[in-house]
């Protein structure tokens, strides 16, 4: 599978070379934009990536860029334009620096340094550089720090645990697991809100950027640790498909964005693939309302029902924690999805067994 690794560059001295190159990259990008505009004015078809590469041919030496970089910029311009259906924005002084290239041709790795266009860039080797490199880019973040992003093809291994879990994503507790475990949300944004407000009122932009970066980094770190642990312990992970984009437009927005649901889900997805575990996204409608012991409906509903954290089932009298109950339901429906998707193992035996005939292993043991 292909992963993108990110290494911090020791940019105290070489940063200015990267910044210069990034300016030239912007120039190429804006040139592509102008060509696009001109073609449209003359009622011609949009120039393709190849057209742009042809038009920029031979300019790399003049610009002081790698020829690969110029080509990659043209290609990316065409891709971005075709996906959004219009000319992408101009790149200017405020755009974050970006220098793409084809790794195998342009980059040479020696120990903890890479050579690009005849210049050595030393890295903080946060993890060893290994695997087949596909392509990459130098990138700048909001604080002006430079990173090397490399797409690397790595082997999948199949070390994974034996458990099965359903995960309910929430705001009160970030993650409720069907095993009964609950993990509180770190609420990093809320913790830094005061400091952020002070810095913003004082107009101290670097400080604001630093606080935002700190929040992002700490959230990422927390979610990485969590997702790695979950994937190591389990072979099947079922997560509800909460629509975080939709919720981010409501009054819950700050908390929703602070929780980082989508980040956690994407981490679980690629880590599960890497470790040979199964990752299933389940429709989570009714998952809070259904009783996980007897499958009777009748739990709390809607936004008003959010305050109900615990309830007693009217059907079987079982006492449920709202989130854990929902997580168990997600696991149950995840198993059903898994049965329909995967080839049925031979343990089920019999002739012409259709997936729908199989009784899924549900926890609806109370049903009669």
- Nearest distance in Å: CB 124, Zn ion: 54
Total count of residues recorded for the chain: 368
Structure tokens at 223: 């979610």
The region of 125-133, 192-200, 289-297, 353-361 touching Zn ion under the rule CB under 5 A is 289-297
- Nearest distance in Å: CB 315, Zn ion: 4
The DSSP-derived string for 53-71 is: HHHHTT-HHHHT--HHHHH
293 sits near Zn ion (criterion: CB under 5 A)? yes
Q: If binding means CB under 5 A, how many residues of this protein chain bind Zn ion? A: 8
The 1-20 contact track toward Zn ion, x by CB under 5 A, reads: --------------------
The region of 223-231, 245-253, 286-294, 333-341 touching Zn ion under the rule CB under 5 A is 286-294
Binder to Zn ion among 22, 291, 331, 332 (CB under 5 A)?
A: 291
Cβ contacts of 330 within 8 Å, gap of 6 or more = 166, 167, 168, 178, 238, 239, 240, 282, 284, 287
Nearer Cβ to Zn ion (262/289): 289
How many angstroms separate the Cα of 283 from the Cα of each of 112, 186, 268, 337? 46, 26, 17, 10
Nearer Cβ to Zn ion (71/326): 326
The 300-319 contact track toward Zn ion, x by CB under 5 A, reads: -------------x-xx-x-
* Alpha carbons 1 and 337: distance in angstroms, whole number: 24
Nearer Cβ to Zn ion (285/297): 297
* Alpha carbons 271 and 211: distance in angstroms, whole number: 28
Beta bridge partners of 240: 282
* Alpha carbons 64 and 20: distance in angstroms, whole number: 9
Residues 229-258 that bind Zn ion (CB under 5 A): none
Structure tokens at 290: 């259904």
DSSP β-ladder status, 107-110 and 278-282: unpaired
- Nearest distance in Å: CB 240, Zn ion: 20
Residues 111-150 that bind Zn ion (CB under 5 A): none
Cβ contacts of 118 within 8 Å, gap of 6 or more = none
294 sits near Zn ion (criterion: CB under 5 A)? yes
Nearer Cβ to Zn ion (66/320): 320
- Nearest distance in Å: CB 316, Zn ion: 3
- Nearest distance in Å: CB 312, Zn ion: 9
* Alpha carbons 288 and 297: distance in angstroms, whole number: 9
Q: Please answer whether residues 134 and 151 qualify as being in contact, where contact means their C-beta atoms are separated by less than 8 angstroms.
A: yes
321 sits near Zn ion (criterion: CB under 5 A)? no
- Nearest distance in Å: CB 313, Zn ion: 3
The 10 Å CB-count burial string (b at 16+, else e) for 213-233 is eebbeebeebbeebbeebbeb
- Nearest distance in Å: CB 323, Zn ion: 16
Nearer Cβ to Zn ion (206/298): 298
The residues binding Zn ion (CB under 5 A) are: 291, 293-294, 296, 313, 315-316, 318
């Amino acid at each position: 599978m292909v992963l993108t690794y990110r290494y911090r560059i020791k940019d105290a001295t070489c940063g200015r070379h990267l910044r210069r190159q990034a300016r030239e990259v912007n120039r190429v990008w804006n040139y592509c934009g102008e060509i696009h505009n001109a073609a449209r004015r003359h009622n011609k078809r949009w120039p393709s990536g190849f057209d742009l590469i042809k038009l920029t041919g031979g300019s790399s030496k003049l610009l002081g860029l790698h020829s690969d970089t110029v080509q990659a910029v043209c290609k990316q311009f065409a891709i971005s334009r075709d996906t959004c259906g219009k000319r992408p924005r101009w790149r200017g002084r405020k755009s974050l620096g970006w220098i793409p290239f084809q790794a195998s041709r342009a980059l040479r790795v020696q120990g903890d340094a890479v050579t690009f266009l005849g210049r050595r860039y030393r890295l903080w080797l946060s993890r060893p550089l290994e695997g087949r490199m596909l392509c990459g880019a130098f990138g700048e973040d909001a604080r002006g720090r430079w990173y090397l992003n490399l797409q690397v093809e790595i082997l999948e291994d199949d070390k994974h645990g034996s458990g099965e879990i359903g995960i309910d994503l929430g705001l009160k507790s970030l993650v409720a697991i069907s095993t009964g475990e609950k993990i509180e949300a770190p609420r990093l944004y809320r913790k830094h809100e005061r400091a952020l407000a002070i810095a913003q009122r004082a107009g101290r932009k670097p400080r604001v950027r630093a606080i935002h970066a700190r929040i992002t980094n700490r959230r990422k770190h927390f979610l990485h640790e969590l997702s790695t642990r979950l994937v190591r312990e389990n072979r099947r992970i079922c997560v509800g498909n909460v629509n975080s984009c939709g919720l981010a437009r409501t009054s819950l927005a700050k908390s929703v964005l602070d929780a980082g649901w989508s980040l956690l889900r994407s981490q679980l997805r690629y880590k599960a693939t890497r470790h040979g575990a199964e990752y299933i996204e389940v429709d989570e409608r009714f998952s809070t309302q259904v009783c996980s012991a007897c499958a009777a409906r009748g739990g709390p509903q809607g936004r008003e029902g959010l305050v109900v954290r615990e309830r007693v089932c009217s059907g079987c009298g079982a006492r449920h924690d709202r989130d854990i109950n929902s997580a168990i339901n997600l696991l149950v429906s995840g198993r059903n999805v898994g049965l329909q998707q995967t080839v049925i193992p031979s343990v089920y035996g019999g002739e012409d067994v259709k997936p729908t005939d199989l009784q899924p292993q549900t926890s609806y043991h109370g049903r009669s």
